[in-house]
Structure 1
Amino acid sequence: MTTGTPLRVAVVGMGALGSVFAAVYEEAGFRVVGVERDPERLRRLRDPSLGVRFPDGTLRPYPEVTGYPLGEPGAFDLIHVSVKGYDTARAAEDLAPLVGEDSVVLSVQNGLGNLEALAARWGADRVLGGITAHSAETLPDGTVRYRGGRGPLLAVGPFGPPRPCVLTVTQTLKAALGGCGYHVEPVDDVEPVRWKKFIANVATNPVAALTGRTGRQMLASPSLCRLIDLLAEEAAAVARARGLRFSELDDPGGFSRWALEGVGDNRISMLQDVEARRPTEIGTLNEALVAEGERLGLPCPAHRAVALLVRALEEAFGPAHPERVPDCGPNGYLSDPTG
């Protein structure tokens, strides 16, 4: 990448949020290619009548999209990874044709273990961790509805001591997306940011999946709000035991409910997975928290219970594709993702 040239961006995983980011990147003037493995989704993404419906009602078409195998090698400045957590390790290998000497790999994914998997393959010095509290969902006709959300579109920081290209890409994202009205917040330490989002995810995603309720409907239920508070506090206890300190740990339930307000009438991603009868990210979310709690000597009984209930829902879908089942330790939970 040279100064003044647009970023060349590959968005790997063109689900709802991946499609939103691809559209935002195109609006910012970047050269965007979407990468998608699922044949049915790939077909919809190539339909010129479909696209991303933004909060103001604007419909923006999907970008150029390619499937697997990726074909001839070509370098990208930024590889934005939005696949499900159980597919991250495979995606890290699949990226080989996309990664050049100065390419940066950005994970905007839920859960633990994603940054570690990308760093193990491509080096921590080229990996960026990002989180978003914005939400989107794919409608039955194949259009993605982007609802916006709370806080910046993207908070992003290096996972390890960064290469110069990581800092350059971060500043380019901040300037170019900021010029279009999207706030990008660079951070020096991505761990508190990652865990803040993680706590909100593990406190709300399985509740939505198990009850079939939208964000607004969950907030209207005193019983579910109490459950969210209980899940958030268990997760916050693990974060504190890891030595993390950030203000949201003072009231993790209140923070999780505040984040849920930004979801509104949207269906949280884990609920969308359950409704589509596909594997969820419970392995990189609540099961990962249980494993980390066990490592630190902190039981997380509420998370263990909701994880088992979500797994029971998945069992009803029939056998999962073997490549999409998370690696589990002897206790049935995801092996320690943090090493």
Structure 2
Amino acid sequence: MRILVVGAGATGGYFGAMLARAGQDVTFLVRPARAAALRRRGLRVVGRDEVWRLDPVLVTADELAAAPSPYDLVLLSVKATALEAAMEDLAPAVGPDTAIVPQLNGLAHLDALTARFGAERVLGGVSKVVTTLDDDGDILRLAPLAQLTLGERDGTVSPRVEAIRKVLADAGVDARVPADVLTAMWHKWVFITTIGALTALVRGTVGEVNAAPGGTELATALLDEAAAVAAAAGHPVPEAERRATLDVVTAAGSPMVPSLYRDLAAGRPTEVEHLFGDLTARARALGVPTPLMDLATLHLRVHQARVTARER
């Protein structure tokens, strides 16, 4: 199976590295600066008492455009803010039988990918991995979780999905094919917007928020709002999963923050419209009140406006 991993950051880089280490035919589509760094240093995974390195096969957008070549599988792991550019870059790699597995949070990217490449090529996907890029550009693994959920959006278990699942599983990934991948995507969306809104509004880690009076109540209320939108859309969060999410966002002393908070704190653009603007718009359409999520959306939009003004 020829695999193209779009992006070699904390998520795509980690899953791609696992596949490449297992002997799969993996190529990373990266920007020229990242390509130069990886050619010089290699793709390195560090943390949790492990350090391993590989020399990845790399291609830039210009190189791919100059020699179009269809791949069997595209793992798309970019921020929503880079989605439009990524679709343009990866287009020469998409053939009639290419399957695209996006690893973005939320749902809005499915419409964009379908419009560009056709519904038959776009699967649903959810990734769960606790990694980040350190100052050297290495992938820092912070926890053992390495899970990738995928499936046909109509709920069927197709031969191509099973083939992809097996390739991932053989590489050591906890690969899952749920009964309804869209439901799995909704549930991840509930989690990521809950923890994103919580840490962004209060500007602190999960532990810091919950150590302050009212912090735990805020976490619970945010989760209730997001879960209510999912339920109204036909994807209710089971009580066991709701409890597990609540345990994470109310954990005493937890240093956890999502990547959205790190982007916010660093003054970088965030995925506000993809994650929060879309969620609150769907809430309005479904008649679900989300005053706290609306507040988080406004807060992030003001930040986004400042970033945009600074970059002009």
TM-score bin (small chain): 0.7 to 0.9
**Equivalents in 2 of 1:259, 1:199: separation in Å?**
13
Residues 1:226 and 1:102: Cα distance change in structure 2 (over 3 Å): same
Q: 1:320 to 1:107 in 2, by over 3 A?
A: farther
Query: Is 1:59 aligned to residue 52 of structure 2?
Result: yes
TM-score, length of structure 2 as denominator length: 0.86
User: Which amino acid in the other structure matches residue 303 of structure 2?
Assistant: L
Residue range with higher mean Cα deviation, 104-113 or 26-35: 26-35
Paired with 2:285 and 2:105, the residues of 1 have a C-alpha distance of 21
Equivalent of 1:255, from 232, 240, 244? 244
* Post-superposition offset of 1:112: 2.1
Q: Which residue of 2 aligns with 1:76?
A: 71
Give the distance between the partners of 1:59 and 1:173, measured in 2 at CA.
24
1:268 paired with 2:258, answer: yes
Q: How far apart, CA to CA, are the structure 1 residues paired with 2:203 and 2:36?
A: 28
Of 80, 103, 106, the residue aligned with 1:108 is: 103
**Structure 1 residue runs without a partner (length 5+):** 1-6, 323-339
Q: TM-score, normalised by structure 1?
A: 0.80
Q: How far apart are residue 316 of structure 1 and its match?
A: 3.8
- Asked if the contact 2:43/2:56 (under 8 Å) is kept, the reply is no
1:43 correspondence with 2:36 = yes
Identity value in percent: 31
Change (3 A) 1:30 1:149: same
Distance 1:289 1:98, change over 3 A: same
One-letter amino acid of the counterpart of residue 13, structure 2: S
Give 2:230's match in structure 1, choosing from 214, 234, 239.
Answer: 239
- Contact 1:130/1:154 (<8 A) preserved: yes
Q: How do residues 9-28 of structure 1 correspond to structure 2 at under 5 angstroms? A: 9-28=3-22
CA 1:50–1:204 in 2, change beyond 3 Å: closer, same or farther? Answer: same
Residues of 1 paired with 2:209 and 2:37: CA distance?
Answer: 31
Deviation (angstroms), 1:265: 4.4
Name the SS of the counterpart of 1:283 in structure 2. Answer: helix
Counterpart of 1:46 in 2: which secondary structure? helix
Aligned residues: 307
Deviation at 1:318, TM superposition (A): 4.6
- Residue 46 of structure 1 aligns with an amino acid whose one-letter code is R
Alpha carbons of 1:33 and 1:155: their partners in 2 closer, same or farther (altered >3 Å)?
same
Q: What's 1:281 paired with?
A: 271
Q: CA, structure 1 residues 73+271, in 2 after alignment: closer, same or farther (shift >3 Å)? A: same
2:149 alignment counterpart? 155
User: Structure 1's 191 and 266: CA in aligned 2 closer, same or farther, altered over 3 A?
Assistant: same
Instruction: Write 1 or 2 for the structure with the bigger share of helix.
Output: 2
Distance 1:42 1:206 in 2: 34
Do the aligned residues in 2 keep the contact of 1:200 with 1:259 (CA within 8 Å)?
no
Q: Which stretch shifts more, 195-204 or 305-314?
A: 305-314
Cα 1:104/1:112, change in 2 over 3 Å: same
- Counterpart residue identity of residue 171, structure 1: E
Instruction: Tell whether the 8 Å contact from 1:204 to 1:256 is kept in structure 2 after alignment.
Output: no
Rounded Cα–Cα distance in structure 1 between residues aligned with 2:54 and 2:148? 21
The one of 292, 298, 301 equivalent to 1:308 is 298
Q: Which amino acid aligns with 2:110?
A: L
